[in-house]
Structure 1
Amino acid sequence: MPEISLQGRVLVGGAAHGELLYADVGLSFWGGIDPFSGEVIDRHHPLSGAIVTGRVLAIPSGRGSCTGSSVMLELILNGHAPAALLLEQVDDILTLGVMVAEQLFGRAIPVLVLGPEGFAALAGQRQVRIDGSRVEAGAALATPAPAASASREPQATWTPRLALTDGDRALLTGEHGKAAQAAMGIVLRMAELQGAEELLDVTQAHIDGCIYTGPASLRFARQLVDWGARVRVPTTLNSISVDQRRWREQGIDAAFGEPAAALGDAYMAMGAQLSFTCAPYLLDSAPQAGEQIVWAESNAVVYANSVLGARTLKYPDYLDICIALTGRAPRIGCHLAPQRHARLHIQLPPLGELDDAFYPLLGYHVGLLCGSEIPVIEGLEQAAPDTDALKAFGAAFATTSAAPMFHIAGVTPEAATLEQALGGQAPQRTLRIEAADLLRSWHELNSAQEPRVDLVSLGNPHFSFSECAQLAALCAGRRKHPDVALVVACGRAIHERARQAGHVSALEAFGVQFVTDTCWCMLGEPVIPPGARTLMTNSGKYAHYAPGLVGRPVHFGSLAACVEAACSGVASDRLPAWLQAGAAREIPVHV
């Protein structure tokens, strides 16, 4: 007999049975699960090392990367998916991956939302059985487990509940081709799941699905191309998984390089521009305040909403191209002004003079605190962080949270005052961060135990022109240690600007290697030297992901500290002045 019986909200239907794998911490599938083994590789997560294949995975939600939907599709099509996914709250990214598998390829797993009480009731249970909306759990349940991601008939035709325009109906009935028809079907299914009542027009798109996660990602794109897909709005492309012009000379295995490059070609065949950057806000095509857009790539979404004041949801991979093919997006969430207000108020103490390591560290820590709530941070009015600082903050924030944006009082455009950021309402929660709290996150990002540094990795997100100039100034008149590699990732457009300004030649003389088109979350050996044991970065995002993605511990610090390490071959253990107050207190630190 089951010990508990629950009713859930069905996002994707089905039946399943299996051993429960439960955690009360959200999980990014990209950088968090190996799509070819089903292992949890996020070394900061409580499920690290566990295998999800064939088990009922229960997590509050996803978090971090929009590419989680692509990893989910990969897992389902290669047989390494969970038997089912149980969530505390709706997660668009993970659910979309299952929906695409079902609608295009006839395979899926059940996905249900249980709410806070139902989800908490699963803690400590061993076996779970799911049938439609019913979830039973106990120490032992006799029903044999079906295979994960069971085959099923493609979803039957349904009548959308949303208010549709004549143009929407024309897309849905196939008047504009099979690719647009399939794309509109996916857009409408997600819109209904999100509770939208209608769609809205978007002016541009940024596609994250061009990241090669395995055969399924290329299969999806080629299917759309075969169906005659063409984007209906100006569309840029995220970093792909290789430097498309130079992957062969970099020693990338053709078994990976060829399909990864072909995936970028497939999206360009749909009419997308050759941009290949995870920082589209650095392009001349960056949107204006109030512009309705569809952007994927978690750091780009957060920057667009928070710093530019444009309006987008945190769109999953595959939904991004579906909206680009239709020009229509759900009228929901951060597309609407009232949904952009903060509900979490975070107060900072006086911290003195700050260096550039502060902002990614703070973003990482705030993301851990807020979950899916939009926060407003108070206490940086006099610090006046520049766009590079906000880029670094947003990328780390997007890594540990599920929220689509943040506000910084007196800094970001929709937070001229604390009251404006909160929409005139009282916050639902107020938290105060102390230096000791930031010190704990500092030690979490600094996972390396030995001082040695073999590789300094910069440009996650892609380096800006001003960062290239700052790095050139820091390296001027100095010599890089011969045993340390220093690699910068940036977009082609920024690389060309930096070349014209003389920064590229100066940095290459120092020993810097530039990589374009791709980013650190996709880079491995041999760009990362096979003999490299320890990395150093100024990116909170990469400091989090690298131990799982490339199996190396990381030193984290400011850009200046990274240059010092590149010259000396070791990382300093000296804390920034703004953290030393926390270190002065005798607090336990978990490294």
Structure 2
Amino acid sequence: MSGITSLSGRSLVEGAAVGPLLYADVGLSFWGGVDPFSGEVIDRHHPLSGECLAGRILAIPSGRGSCTGSSVLMELISNGHAPAALVLAEADEILTLGVLVAQTLFERSLPVLCIGKEAFAGLRGKAFASVNGTHLGLFDALPADTDAPSHREVHVEDSSNGIELTEDDRALLDGHHGKAAQVAMQIVLRMAQLQGAVQLIDINQAHIDGCIYTGPASLRFAQQLVEWGAKVRVPTTLNSISVDQRRWRELGIDPALGVPASALGDAYMAMGAQLSFTCAPYLLDSAPKAGEQIVWAESNAVVYANSVLGARTLKYPDYLDICIALTGRAPLIGCHLESQRKARLHIELPPLADLDDAFYPLLGYHVGALAGSRIPLVSGLEQHHPDLDHLKAFGAAFATTSAAPLFHIAGVTPEALDPASVLDGPVTVIKVSLKDLLTSWHELNSACDPRVDVVSLGNPHFSLSEFAHLAGLCQGRHRHPDVVLAITCGRAVLEQAREAGHIAVLEAFGATLVTDTCWCMLGEPVIPPSAQNLMTNSGKYAHYAPGLVGRKVHFASLAECVDAACSATASGRLPLWLQTAVSLENYAHV
């Protein structure tokens, strides 16, 4: 047969599949980027937007963005809308873990093959592919006698070969601490093998992202653990769930979502996790200290813990997080090791002036896209002294477009106070211009109509200092009657803000307060069905909202968001720090 190419790589999950090849040279976040019920790519910024993954050999460099991608992939495998196989340039733990859990829970699987960056670049333009173990075949047309294998039942082998185990590890693996802990240890060890770890470490705390409801499979997984007697072995907090557990009926949420989403939160609490329900666990009193070994999921929290707090965690996939919480043991790999926390990418910023709070999420979004899976060092902010809210916004947007679990900012983040100490090996240098940032600004501002129907604040969850800033902007004013201004936050921060007097000001303004959940899970009717355009100061939500809720977005500073809430109109003004870029761009076209 003409046009046949054969490649080989590392099999992350064994199996065989054949089908049309769907290729992209940009990483894809399955959560927020793929509909878990249909398999459609809904990330409107991605080159595969609108494509359906079901039955196709999906070739992407890696995943990126949310840790919940593992849950979405598990849902797709369970409901028959998954790709036939995954072909990756780099090993991806989030996506691989989704397949491993589907094997354990549903006895269904798909092959995952890593072929390296050089070979991956050669897939562009190929029409069909087959995966068989470590081998990848590429074809101009499918062989006439080839039928694409369906997801079939698999037998999962659990082995601890090559990994040092303690006596307690073996007791967990042998089932002496119950079925749930045994299965959890099996999954931990399978991931440790894939990661190349040779030993496990004790962890001090966990933050669980798997409590987000992605569909029936996510609830089934948690309830199965409860039935097996699961109990966490370390202090464990819970991420935002998919509804405000106390008020979802009052907010008009469909019981088809409200009931199972609330039950999912209850299931994790039944395992001993704390009722925290926040995507910003670093705002809790239990936030880890520098050097502390932890297991956190939720991409923005992982990045903040590593980068701003100096704690030690990988970007843990959903379900591996609870497995480690049930065993108290994690693979000693990646950012748990000092040597793996170094930067291989150096981002140099241009001279900057007149920065507002929209700068930091925009920069995080831009740097994340440049970084991919590389840990970056950003230089040029030493004199601007970004505060914790700025770093929170930067990190959330960075984690949206990057697969890296850590960033360094020269002279700002704790490990980069001496920037030279975080650079290691061959380092790529990229100079970012204001014109580059203007391009990203236009990407996040997808709305053309200046009308604003909803102002979305609190992605990630609002901090006490953000409440104080917002209350100052809203004092003595009132939102336009046709605009919804809603803020999502954790319960603990809400009570702090109420005690400080900020909530009274915001309620007088006409704001809606939502706890337990976050904007990435909110839809109608919190967003009115008639709403066309949203406005937000979150780079993360500006990226995800067009795909998640089908609305266009205005992205701007918090002050601009409040002005728009009062006028129902986005000013369209560029921040002062970007106006120079426009002037230069206009000059270039003269």
How high is the TM-score relative to the length of structure 1?
0.98
Aligned to 1:70: 71
Aligned to 1:431: 430
Aligned to 1:527: 526
CA contact (8 A) 1:20 1:128 kept: yes
Match of 1:358, as an amino acid? F
Aligned positions of 1:114-153 closer than 5 A: 114-142=115-143, 143-148=145-150, 150-153=151-154
Aligned to 1:456: 455
Displacement of 1:107: 0.3
Mapped to 1, the partners of 2:131 and 2:587 lie a distance apart of 42
Question: Deviations 1:496-550 (Å, cap 9, x if unpaired)?
Answer: 0111111111100100000000000000000111111000000000000000000
Mapped to 2, the partners of 1:318 and 1:456 lie a distance apart of 33
CA contact (8 A) 1:294 1:312 kept: yes
Question: Deviations 1:383-423 (Å, cap 9, x if unpaired)?
Answer: 0000000000000000000000100010000001210221x
Question: Deviations 1:265-311 (Å, cap 9, x if unpaired)?
Answer: 00000000000000000000000000000000000000000000000
Aligned to 2:364: 363
Displacement of 1:157: 4.2
CA contact (8 A) 2:158 2:190 kept: no
Aligned positions of 1:228-243 closer than 5 A: 228-243=229-244
Match of 1:18, as an amino acid? G
Aligned to 1:296: 297
> What fraction of aligned residue pairs are identical, expressed as a percent?
71
Match of 2:489, as an amino acid? C
Match of 1:152, as an amino acid? E
Aligned positions of 1:192-341 closer than 5 A: 192-341=193-342
Displacement of 1:36: 0.6
Mapped to 2, the partners of 1:588 and 1:21 lie a distance apart of 41
Aligned to 1:580: 579
Match of 1:83, as an amino acid? A
CA contact (8 A) 2:208 2:238 kept: yes
Aligned to 1:156: 157
How high is the TM-score relative to the length of structure 2?
0.98
CA contact (8 A) 1:160 1:188 kept: no
Aligned to 2:92: 91
Give the match's secondary structure for 2:251.
coil
Question: Deviations 1:35-90 (Å, cap 9, x if unpaired)?
Answer: 11110000000000000000000000000000000000000000000000000000
| Segment drifting more, 292-301 vs 122-131 | 122-131
Structure 1 unmatched ranges of 5 or more? none
Displacement of 1:586: 2.5
Aligned to 2:189: 188
Aligned to 1:561: 560
Structure 2 unmatched ranges of 5 or more? none
CA contact (8 A) 2:18 2:149 kept: no
CA contact (8 A) 1:30 1:68 kept: yes
Displacement of 1:18: 0.2
Give the match's secondary structure for 1:585.
helix
Question: Deviations 1:298-329 (Å, cap 9, x if unpaired)?
Answer: 00000000000000000000000000000000
Match of 1:463, as an amino acid? F
Match of 2:146, as an amino acid? P
Match of 2:526, as an amino acid? V
Give the match's secondary structure for 2:485.
strand
Displacement of 1:562: 0.2
CA contact (8 A) 1:368 1:400 kept: yes
Question: Deviations 1:421-466 (Å, cap 9, x if unpaired)?
Answer: 21xx455200111100000000000000100000000000000000
Aligned to 1:349: 350
Displacement of 1:587: 6.9
Displacement of 1:152: 1.9
Displacement of 1:195: 0.8
| Pairwise CA RMSD | 1.2
Aligned to 1:37: 38
Mapped to 1, the partners of 2:356 and 2:364 lie a distance apart of 14
Aligned to 1:444: 443
Give the match's secondary structure for 1:220.
helix
Report the count of equivalent residues: 586
**2:84 paired with 1:108:** no
Aligned to 2:6: 5
Mapped to 1, the partners of 2:192 and 2:509 lie a distance apart of 51
Aligned to 1:511: 510
Mapped to 2, the partners of 1:350 and 1:216 lie a distance apart of 50
Match of 2:184, as an amino acid? A
Aligned to 2:485: 486
